[in-house]
Amino acid sequence: MVISVPFLVRDRLSEALMKRCHLHDSADCSPLPTEGEGVMTERYSAFDLLQWLSKDTADAFLAEGKTRHFPARSSIYLQSEEGRDMFRLVSGTVRLSLIGDDGRDLLYQLFSPGDCFGTSSVVDEEPRPHTAEAFDHVTLQVFDRATINRLRQAHPELNDALLKLLSRHMRLLSDYFAAATFDEVSSRLAQRLLDITETFGVARDDGIGLSRRLSQSELAAMVGTARQTVNKVLHEFQELGIMSLHQGSMIFTDLAKLREIALKGARLQHFAAVSS
């Protein structure tokens, strides 16, 4: 998903930016960050509750958050356990996954700063539907159920915002279910790579790199296939001139062609960033 406040931006449009704009057919297309730059602009992430709140309500919401830190690879919560808190990601990356009865791990989302998660268990008081893990060092704002309920009474617009957040999560899962049912592995992988470049893309002289390194095993968990299959498809993408691999790092050189492959699938929704 799109990086939220703070979002790193370039001072001028690059070739990588032009490819990104063409990729998403977006009239509101901000430049990709470059390594080492740190200018801020007001942009929300796709799963940030704040995008649907007035400034007064957003300020009241943020004021109630308790800050917690999680080291890389530590568990934030586990699938099927009781859930009393929802979270807003301040820094780092959070990994959401489902664990099957046979122990297989389906990685279905990587959340970036601004994204909110853990909401459903706070609203319906049911067990956690998935596992949340710190992909790297993570800082979170934590809101317990009692706090959320009190804020909902004091600021009724929060109710509508929570509904929109839950709906967006539902649409995300619907997309992934449709892709897993109808799409070829190449289309599924292309769709996830597009999401990854939008969230973690960093403009380079030779294309678009990633600010987070993802293994082929993690990509396989994202698309529900074997690592060997992902390896084969990545090499096919290299032969098509879409990307290159340098010491395990991916560099994307033709996002338009990657998008063509992605559009052969059943993807229903692209969640664009919202600007304040």
What are residue 185's phi and psi, to 5 degrees?
A: -60, -40
Domain coordinates of the chain in residue numbers? 49-182, 185-266
Instruction: Give the residue-averaged pLDDT of 9-36.
Output: 38
Cα 245 from Cα 226, distance rounded (Å)? 19
Residue whose C-alpha is closest to residue 199's, from 82, 100, 110: 110
Take residue 85 and report the two structure tokens written for it. 């808190």
pTM: 0.70
Q: How far is CA 187 from CA 32, 244, 256, 259, in A?
A: 24, 18, 13, 9
Distance of CA 150 to the CA centre of its chain: 29
144, β-bridge pairs: 85
Cα 169 from Cα 149, distance rounded (Å)? 20
CATH class as words, domain 49-182: mainly beta
Residues 93-136 pLDDT 10s: 999 988 777 666 677 788 989 999 999 999 999 999 999 999 99
* Topology adopted by domain 185-266: Arc Repressor Mutant, subunit A (1.10.10)
Query: Coil, helix or strand for 140?
Result: strand
Take residue 89 and report the two structure tokens written for it. 């990601």
Q: How far is CA 134 from CA 45, 77, 143, in A?
A: 18, 10, 18
Residues 36-53 pLDDT 10s: 443 333 578 889 999 999
Take residue 271 and report the two structure tokens written for it. 């969640």
Q: Which pLDDT belongs to residue 225? A: 87
